A and B are shown apart, each in its own frame.
Chain A
């Protein structure tokens, strides 16, 4: 490794103050520190030893937690492709992976490239280090998109999100909104035709098999309510297209949806990684699912229509709620920062998600708006927790 180190050391003066490429210092630094942990030592005062953690390690942990969801997503895009075109019986495992890879990998690459480029440009202009936060955002943006999304839209949304959601606030750590959710919301409202409706099956150059419907479970459930003499939603789902949307199938994730968010099981593997490593807040995850379940139960009691009467645990496995709670709501920067605040924050995300799903006819899925909405309100929640702390201190003061 000495060869590489020497090479980097030789180039370094070019980028340092007074060097020819001074402007690109932070781009060089990003590469340098990616390869080598720097040789900086602690100061004269203060702690002389430091924990082995840094932001790079923390962020890469989140990326690793997303890998099961990504890999399953690749497989599932292939699987649902063959399902939709009616060739499932002939397709092998490798066929599915191949088709999935062709659909998904370009999206991941474009998302990283476009967002990363903006990061670098901002780092150079604003003279701040390139932040590791995009390691996570880049992956997140890619896997919450439909597999059929045009690549230019992926690039556009990544650029929009990095600039508007993050850099204008000062970069990683300063953002109010979750970067990836902002990317998705941007597309959702700017290009609704490519983000909703019949976009969940990657068809390539083929056509749907005769009579095949491209609807998602959430759409089926929402429609079920409007019909006269509706069946219970669970039965409608189970009966849809030869049992495509049985509870088990939805848990496993062999259903249409955003690339990485269909499988409850893959997402929960990620949740276990996040919680075990302490990188994601278990409080937000638990309270988020609790919020979904509690409102689900309350709606069961009300039971005004069939959707309300749907068993509450069905909400966990339909749409992106699990993925959103595990990977989006737990983003430490845009979530509540206080420990009590995290309970409230997670709970409200769960509740709002179900409200939007069940009671709002315009949007079949609610997790995206719920997370963004609570991102905005997280500082308010924290404000009350902080005030309570101040008050306790004030009460024991004598003057």
Chain B
């Protein structure tokens, strides 16, 4: 019987535009891109292809000079059409114009019965070479794992409680064998356990609950109950000097597929969600897809914001932008770039609030009510005033206000002592949402992480 951890603190943001459980083929995008900016830890990206080169799915495009072993590969086959750089020649996107029929680089193929006999070294070199390694994220810091580490444990969260989050069961439909193979491979890398966190509030598919050799833990509660950081905190918290790896279920399946089929398969199911999407549902596409074809004709208004990922942690992209490496959804919400007369005191029931201050009556609505929220900040940035609020949406034994202030004061000792190793942006995203003083809290956390990595 798996352990059941009940989380009391958190907040579910119930947005309009949830996807229907229906998967269609998206119209194929013309171009697909690898964005070095998706990898937060990447310090000095180096491109190894030139514009005009032809590549296969799984051909190396890029590596980080500070971590040369990890190779980043092309998601599809085709021609490298543009290497886009921004200010100070910062590398932004490597775009590949896709072939009609995808050609794959061939890697060593294994049968299921071979898997136990593969050594860690062999597994590692294949994963590094074939481009699936960046799927492994290390904690602390939330960056691509360092191949020389042996993590204390490896964590996989099989559900996402973020607003409009896609359902991983649908994303991995028919890929149970790849997921199981991926878990088996990952077990070679740790002396501890592979932990799988499942949703206690829903029917869990046997893909996740019956995996051999992994420790399953059930979690129930509001968002961020599905965050892998929360799972780590409650199952095996990270101390100073310890390293834990996390992989999302799609990444696990991709690793499994590499070993069983011998290819770098970047095909994926994503969801197109949000209040501005006329028929939110799931689509088949590939990693790094340009979203223009996927969203074409499905957006009702002009003044909208396209987000790769979810509304809490995603990235704002152009309507011709590209899906992020780790993202399984595109969210489209109204852009809130308008003034509102006396907006700060007008009584309202349509604006969602965690608080119940003057005129904020959304707590009276039924919990099933779906909200249409725009991207307006709904106030100006101020000093920290209200206390005891962040704790209510961060189900960890952490004092968020003190942690944020330690980071802002660049106090390294306090940051460490107050638990910066245990959190990344997604864990404090709700703190940012409910913040009365409108701080960029995810930015603050990343700033602290960068300080520690440099120092």
Contacts and interface: CB of A to CB of B under 8 A. Distances in A.
Q: Which of B354, B359, B436, B437 has the most CB atoms of chain A within a 10 A radius of its CB? A: B436
Nearest to A397: B239
Interface string B296-324: 00000000010100011111100000000
A90 to B, nearest CB: 40
B357 interface: yes
Contact of B358 (A61, A129, A133): A61
B380 A277 contact: no
A49 B316 CA distance: 12
A197 interface: no
Contact of A5 (B316, B339, B387): B339
A48 to B, nearest CB: 5
A12 to B, nearest CB: 11
B307 A56 contact: no
Interface string A31-74: 00111111111111111111111111110110010000000000
Contacts of A281: 387-388
Q: Is the interface of A mostly helix, strand, loop or mixed?
A: loop
A386 interface: yes
B191 to A, nearest CB: 13
B316 A44 contact: yes
B386 A33 contact: no
Interface in A374-388: 385-386
A279 interface: yes
Contacts of A303: none
Given A52-B353, A60-B358, A277-B355, A398 B379 contact: no
Nearest to B435: A51
Interface in B146-203: 163
Given A60-B345, A389-B397, A396-B237, A39 B337 contact: yes
Nearest to B378: A50
B433 A50 contact: yes
Interface string A145-185: 00000000000000000000000001111100000000000
Interface residues of A, number: 64
Contacts of B50: none
Interface string B231-269: 000000101111000000000000000000000000000
A23 interface: no
Interface string A326-341: 0000001101011100
B373 interface: yes
A50 to B, nearest CB: 5
Nearest to A338: B399
B312 to A, nearest CB: 5
A133 B384 CA distance: 12
A209 interface: no
A56 B351 CA distance: 16
Contacts of B312: 47-49
A1 interface: yes
Q: Which of B331, B339, B384 has the most CB atoms of chain A within a 10 A radius of its CB? A: B339
B240 A51 contact: no
A33 B436 CA distance: 15
Contacts of A37: 339-340, 342-344, 376, 378-379
Contacts of A276: 356
A201 B71 CA distance: 82
Nearest to B440: A46
B356 A41 contact: no
A176 to B, nearest CB: 14
Contacts of B329: none
A129 B345 CA distance: 19
A362 interface: no
Given A45-B442, A49-B433, A277-B356, A1 B341 contact: yes
B124 interface: no
Contacts of B163: 49
Contact of B397 (A39, A337, A342, A392): A392
Contact of B385 (A49, A173, A393): A173
B447 interface: no
Contacts of A41: 305, 335-337, 374-377
Q: Which of A34, A50, A57, A129 has the most CB atoms of chain B within a 10 A radius of its CB? A: A50
Contact of A57 (B311, B340, B359, B401): B359
B436 A54 contact: yes
A183 to B, nearest CB: 19
B239 A399 contact: yes
Nearest to B421: A393
Q: Top 7 nearest A-B pairs by Cβ distance?
A: A54-B379, A173-B383, A37-B343, A397-B239, A52-B351, A399-B241, A36-B339
Interface of A: 1, 4-5, 33-58, 60-61, 64, 129, 131-133, 170-174, 276-279, 281, 332-333, 335, 337-339, 342, 385-386, 389-390, 392-394, 396-399
Given A38-B339, A46-B442, A60-B344, 15 more contacts: A37-B343, A41-B376, A43-B316, A52-B351, A53-B355, A54-B378, A54-B379, A55-B379, A56-B344, A58-B386, A277-B356, A338-B387, A390-B418, A398-B242, A399-B241
28 contacts: A33-B344, A35-B341, A35-B342, A40-B377, A41-B335, A46-B425, A47-B313, A48-B305, A48-B307, A48-B311, A49-B433, A50-B435, A51-B355, A51-B433, A51-B434, A51-B435, A52-B351, A52-B352, A54-B380, A60-B345, A60-B358, A173-B385, A333-B385, A338-B388, A386-B399, A386-B402, A396-B237, A396-B239
